[in-house]
Amino acid sequence: MHRSAFAGCARVALWAVSCGSSDGVDRSSGARRSAKLESGTGLQGDYYDTLDFSALKTSRLDATVNFDWGGSMPPGVALTDQFTFSVRWTGQVEAPVTGLYTFTVGSDDGARLWVNGQLLVADWTLHSYKENSGTITLIAGQRYDIKLEFYENLGVASVKLFWAYPGQPRGATYRT
């Protein structure tokens, strides 16, 4: 991870910037931070102590979304209850080639995925691990917003994000 000159901020891949909160406010000083976005590796993960994204506990860079937490809470996140939490990952993906992309989310419990503002996966239900996919056409060299929301409500917690595109079998979404 490349540290920027902005206190509390990290430049992250897929052109996401983490400043310690989802609204860009430095919690230690209350000052709004801005930063030039540049290439890196990862998505900003905002971890909440509730199912409805109302109690932000921490924000961090996650190099990939490929987590099997079992019955434990995410490491480094001080949650009140390890069985009831939510996470929102945001950033951008850059399409290496033009064509039809398949995004796959595996989760236990609910997950929703948007790419370029289009809802591709909507499985906001309580369930054991399963995978859901959606497709979208992307243009080479273009950057697209991506948002993945996940919640855990009792039991085993797991969430994974993959993509596949012309000439590339399914793999982690974060390689540029």
pLDDT in tens, 28-85: 333 322 233 345 579 999 999 999 999 999 999 999 999 999 888 888 888 888 789 9
In a domain, 22, yes or no: no
In a domain, 16, yes or no: no
Mean per-residue pLDDT for 100-112? 96
In a domain, 134, yes or no: yes
In a domain, 4, yes or no: no
Total domain count, the chain? 1
In a domain, 31, yes or no: no
Instruction: Give pLDDT, residue 171.
Output: 67
Instruction: Give pLDDT, residue 170.
Output: 76
Q: Which two tokens stand for residue 93?
A: 């993906």
Of 174, 155, 151, 176, nearest to 163 by C-alpha is 174
In a domain, 91, yes or no: yes
Instruction: Determine which of 13-27, 101-115, 136-150 has the lowest per-residue pLDDT on average.
Output: 13-27
Residues in the chain: 176
Band the pLDDT of 172: cuts 50, 70, 90.
Answer: low
Looking at the chain, the whole-number percentage of residues with pLDDT higher than 90 is: 61
Backbone angles phi, psi at 93, to 5 degrees: -115, 145
CA-only gyration radius of the chain, Å: 16
Whether 129 shows a pLDDT value over 50: the answer reads: yes
Contact 161, 66 (CB under 8 A): yes
When comparing pLDDT for 7 and 124, which is higher? 124
CATH code (residue 156)? 3.90.182.10
Instruction: Determine which of 8-22, 103-117, 134-148 has the lowest per-residue pLDDT on average.
Output: 8-22
Distance CA(16)–CA(60), nearest Å, equals 11
Domain limits for position 101: 43-172
In a domain, 29, yes or no: no
In a domain, 20, yes or no: no
